[in-house]
Structure 1
Amino acid sequence: MDNTMEDKLLVPGKECVMDLKRRVWIESKKLWSIASPAIITRLTSFGILVTTQSFMGHIGENELAAYALIQILLVRFANGILLGMANALETLCGQAFGAQHYHMMGIYLQRSWLVLLASSAILLPFFIFTSPILRLIGQEEELSAVAGNISIWFIPIMYYFVFSFTMQMYLQAQRKNMIIGWLSCASFVVHLTLSWLFVYKLNLGIPGAMGAMIISTWSMVIGEFIYVFGGWCPETWRGFSKHAFADLWPLFKLSVSSGMMLCLELWYNAVLVLLAGYMKNATIAVAAFSICLNVVAWEFMIPLGFLTGACVRVANELGSGDGKAAKFAVIVNLSTSLSLGVLFSVLFLVFGHVLSYAFTSSTEVATAVSSLSTLLALSVLLNSVQPVLTGVAVGAGWQSVVAYVNLGCYYVVGIPIGLLLGYVAKLDVRGIWIGMMCGVALQTFVLLWITWRTDWDNQVEKASERLNRWFLAPSHENDDNTSHA
């Protein structure tokens, strides 16, 4: 920002207010251009998993239970690791785009492919040997056999995660994520059509439901490949390069920090649902808790869009060397997301008593959900702030710090409080949820404090150091390309 603009902002009056409104409007347009496609993508991608579960329910009860087990335990596990590790690419590409190191973005993308493909190879045995693993932890024989069959079909989905996550980060960083939104919507429509055809009309059972998911998800990845390799990213994609095999260890360390940061968040809810399963009248408790968490998960796709917006805007501004603009982007993003959070919280408070009937016809479960509506509204409010702060952390490259914050807030504070309130204080599922919220609230306040105390000019220097350390001159890169798409 130049000195003239700074002077205007310091002078009270109409001119100052108008200038501030203009800056907010400009930043909001940038934010929504990134966040809205990200929200659409997350809603439709999540919708593919949910609708597949619905079609599984029409095949049979064992198939539905086995699919739910694989999705909650195995797919969430793999998704958390791979998405978390892909967030390292979001940091690097966002800062490189801001610094106009455009050619490096394609190299970072290729390096991230190598790191995530190696990680997925480590995860592969869990999908291959699902049945014996489930038998080992005491699951029924028939359920384990069906789950083992379904898990094999999820192997292509795991590799879809590798390429989809990384190309989303790569395209988002250069503000070309509208194509991702369109492709995601198209894949969702393809998925619904194929699922109806394969399951209802052709009665193909599990192969039909899972085959529809594989075809629809990979159609999105193929569309992204065509977009990137077909010449729509000429500045950032210059072909495959041998430099992709250099500096993998620093990227691996940043990826592991990102993976741990996100996994600790994603597994937190799973642990709490598991704890709810040991309570008296566990069926009602888990059903009510799961319904509430599903509602939170759907609404959470919106704050996750703002997470993407915060990450890209902060990374771009730090890469371009403007610390003040990065700080202003954080303020606008937080204000926007919090406003929507207040709106949804009020809606859930007003309609909490009828919300559960969208998921169940049981009066007992509906009553249990209604009793949790206040906690549901508070969770939505907290979730409108926390993802934005996580996005700021990813954009600035603080993943390792946030991983420690998540570990302490969630597992040292949140879960023990939930256990004490749920089992000792006899508050049952309400006590577990209060514990969960305590962990999230503490994490939110810690990240707010870190963000508030941040020296953004110092963050600009750190971003510059990281980019310069891994920078390759464009002329060298062009000489050493081994092949071109």
Structure 2
Amino acid sequence: MDIDDELLLHKDLNEWTERKYIIWKAIPISLSYLLQNILPFISVFALGHLGQTELAVATLSIMCYHFTFVALIYGAATALDTLCSQAYTSGDVKMVGIFLQRATIIQLLGFIPIACIWWESEQILILMGQSPAISSKTCSYLRYLLIGAPAFLLFENLRRYLQAQGIMKASTYVLVICCIIDICLNYLLILYQPLSLGFIGAPIATSITNWLMFSFLVIYTKFINGYQAWGGWSRAAFYGWKQIFTLAIPGILMVCSELWTSEFISFLTGYLGELPLASQGILSVLVTLLYQSPFGLSVSASNRVGNLLGAGLVEKAKMTSKLTMQFAIILALFEAIILIVFKDYWGYIFISKDDVVKYTSNVIPLISIFEISDGLNVVGQGILRGQGRQNIGALINAPGYVVLGLPVSIFTAFILRYGLLGLWFGSTASSIIVCIILLIILWRTDWQQQLEECKKRMKEGKDKLESMISDVPDF
């Protein structure tokens, strides 16, 4: 039997089959998100050849883009991790398409105020202390990103729709192609003089790439695999929004409390001086790259647990959660060991200055501890998403990272004068505490209750669908 056929969820699935499935699905997801995280660096690299001002504008614009949009989309899309994965195996696959439509409509409406903020971002940035010149160019950059932002939203939701069906490779194929296209677009629109648009070529290239990503994924879904769960456009998409909000709002809190804290830590590094700032740039890239492996495992676990609960196989869902956490421990320890063993060499990948490399190597032992707890957190929260317990993730993450982590980071960095080491100490301490609480919650999970919640969730969705009038013709 092909491993994709295992998604049919036979009751005799054993631990060995589950291990194969989890890893088989996690690898393309990790590669997919790794490629997606590379895309912003392509624009930064290209703009770096134009000058320091353009590089500063790109850095600030991309930070605003991720802070006010990408993080929110990732958080809101966690609702689909739960609803689509559980719906796919609950007896009516067409509900997967309905949930996709509902979430997409809500997110597009939610994007309207974000678009207004971007359009008026020049005055906002000036009020925050940025120079008028940087603020003006950043505003222009964000306005051009408006062209492609809806496409990113659509791509991310469609990816979750496919992942719920066990189709993990589609977005990887698309991103391999689009990364190559994005490199060419950035070269043509920024560096190639006959066509160069200057710094504004970067957001235009990003917007074009976003629309290509979405278009290619639609083509894959329509003509290759994934269309089977799409029941056509339905008026039911305009009802039953409470289910989406119930999962999306805590999902946003769960994701954003961690991502925003991380961004704020990087922002605070600017007050420590040039050397810590350069080191933080290296460490941020390393942490981002290492994050992709446990995140791939997290997405695989989320959809697998959701599929198993939707099929009523509660013992298999419990087994999958246990096996996934075992993989998470092994992976986290491996990444930590790799960091420690090569701690004196990582910096040279990015820069040749010995003082920066040495400063970075002194912080890496602490980063390795952070990677262990963070890796377990990422995977554990994937299991929570599969169960539909984003509210638990929000209740752990928000106090852990914001209320505890940030004050400790500021105190140890600036009051005790430990600098960058102090900033990472706060992040590591909060990550460890979040990890301990999360593991206890997962260990004490009442799986029978989660099965009942899943049945209730799916029944509510189907009841709403049955009460609606006829569908609009297929897409």
Category of TM-score, reference length = shorter chain: over 0.9
Deviation at 1:400, TM superposition (A): 1.5
- Which residue is 1:25 aligned to? 16
Tell me whether 468-477 or 199-208 shows the greater mean CA deviation: 468-477
Find the residue that maps to 1:443 and give its secondary structure: helix
Q: What is the letter of the counterpart of residue 352 of structure 1? A: K
Deviation at 1:294, TM superposition (A): 1.5
Asked if residue 257 in structure 1 is aligned to residue 257 in structure 2, the reply is no
- Which residue is 1:12 aligned to? none
Q: Distance in 2 between matches of 1:365 and 1:233?
A: 48
Distance 1:28 1:224, change over 3 A: same
Structure 2: any 5+ residue segments left out of the alignment? 1-11
- Which residue is 1:424 aligned to? 415
Q: Percent identity?
A: 25
Distance 1:66 1:207, change over 3 A: closer
Deviations 1:188-221, CA, capped at 9 Å, x for gaps: 1111222223333233322333222222221110
- Which residue is 2:8 aligned to? none
For normalisation by structure 2, the TM-score amounts to: 0.93
Q: What is the letter of the counterpart of residue 388 of structure 2? A: G
- Which residue is 1:340 aligned to? 331
Deviations 1:389-419, CA, capped at 9 Å, x for gaps: 1101111111112112111111222122222
- Which residue is 1:126 aligned to? 117
Asked if residue 65 in structure 1 is aligned to residue 56 in structure 2, the reply is yes
Alignment of 1:37-48 (within 5 A): 37-48=28-39
1:137 corresponds, among 120, 125, 128, to: 128
Q: What is the letter of the counterpart of residue 379 of structure 2? A: V
Find the residue that maps to 1:483 and give its secondary structure: coil
Deviation at 1:93, TM superposition (A): 0.3
Q: Distance in 2 between matches of 1:152 and 1:110?
A: 26
Tell me, yes or no, if the aligned pair for 2:370 and 2:427 is still in contact at 8 Å: no
Distance 1:189 1:327, change over 3 A: same
Asked if residue 312 in structure 1 is aligned to residue 331 in structure 2, the reply is no
Find the residue that maps to 1:352 and give its secondary structure: coil
Find the residue that maps to 2:271 and give its secondary structure: coil
Deviation at 1:475, TM superposition (A): 7.9
- Which residue is 2:288 aligned to? 297
Q: Distance in 2 between matches of 1:305 and 1:367?
A: 31
2:212 corresponds, among 190, 203, 219, to: 219
Asked if residue 382 in structure 1 is aligned to residue 352 in structure 2, the reply is no
Find the residue that maps to 2:130 and give its secondary structure: coil
- Which residue is 1:34 aligned to? 25
2:76 corresponds, among 77, 82, 85, to: 85
Deviation at 1:313, TM superposition (A): 1.0
Tell me, yes or no, if the aligned pair for 1:132 and 1:144 is still in contact at 8 Å: yes
Find the residue that maps to 2:71 and give its secondary structure: helix
Structure 1: any 5+ residue segments left out of the alignment? 1-19
- Which residue is 1:98 aligned to? 89
Tell me, yes or no, if the aligned pair for 2:304 and 2:317 is still in contact at 8 Å: yes
Q: Distance in 2 between matches of 1:417 and 1:476?
A: 52
Aligned residues: 462
Tell me, yes or no, if the aligned pair for 1:287 and 1:365 is still in contact at 8 Å: yes
Deviations 1:326-367, CA, capped at 9 Å, x for gaps: 111112212223222222211211211121122223332222
For normalisation by structure 1, the TM-score amounts to: 0.91
- Which residue is 2:470 aligned to? 480
Q: Distance in 2 between matches of 1:222 and 1:174?
A: 19
- Which residue is 2:137 aligned to? 146
Deviations 1:287-311, CA, capped at 9 Å, x for gaps: 2123212210111111111110111
Q: What is the letter of the counterpart of residue 37 of structure 2? A: F
- Which residue is 2:3 aligned to? none
Deviation at 1:476, TM superposition (A): 7.6
- Which residue is 2:427 aligned to? 436
Deviations 1:2-21, CA, capped at 9 Å, x for gaps: xxxxxxxxxxxxxxxxxx9x
Q: What is the letter of the counterpart of residue 73 of structure 1? A: C
Q: Distance in 1 between matches of 2:464 and 2:146?
A: 38
1:204 corresponds, among 178, 194, 197, to: 197
Tell me, yes or no, if the aligned pair for 1:261 and 1:403 is still in contact at 8 Å: yes
Deviation at 1:112, TM superposition (A): 0.7
Q: What is the letter of the counterpart of residue 328 of structure 1? A: M
- Which residue is 2:264 aligned to? 271
Q: Distance in 2 between matches of 1:269 and 1:224?
A: 30
Q: Please provide the CA RMSD for this pair.
A: 1.9
- Which residue is 2:6 aligned to? none
Q: Distance in 1 between matches of 2:63 and 2:19?
A: 35
- Which residue is 1:16 aligned to? none
- Which residue is 2:7 aligned to? none
Tell me, yes or no, if the aligned pair for 1:173 and 1:316 is still in contact at 8 Å: yes
Deviation at 1:260, TM superposition (A): 1.4
Tell me, yes or no, if the aligned pair for 1:39 and 1:305 is still in contact at 8 Å: yes
Q: Distance in 1 between matches of 2:276 and 2:464?
A: 59
Q: Distance in 2 between matches of 1:261 and 1:285?
A: 29
Q: Distance in 2 between matches of 1:27 and 1:253?
A: 30
- Which residue is 1:187 aligned to? 178
Alignment of 1:395-474 (within 5 A): 395-472=386-463
- Which residue is 2:232 aligned to? 239
Find the residue that maps to 1:42 and give its secondary structure: helix
Tell me, yes or no, if the aligned pair for 1:103 and 1:237 is still in contact at 8 Å: yes
Alignment of 1:142-181 (within 5 A): 142-181=133-172
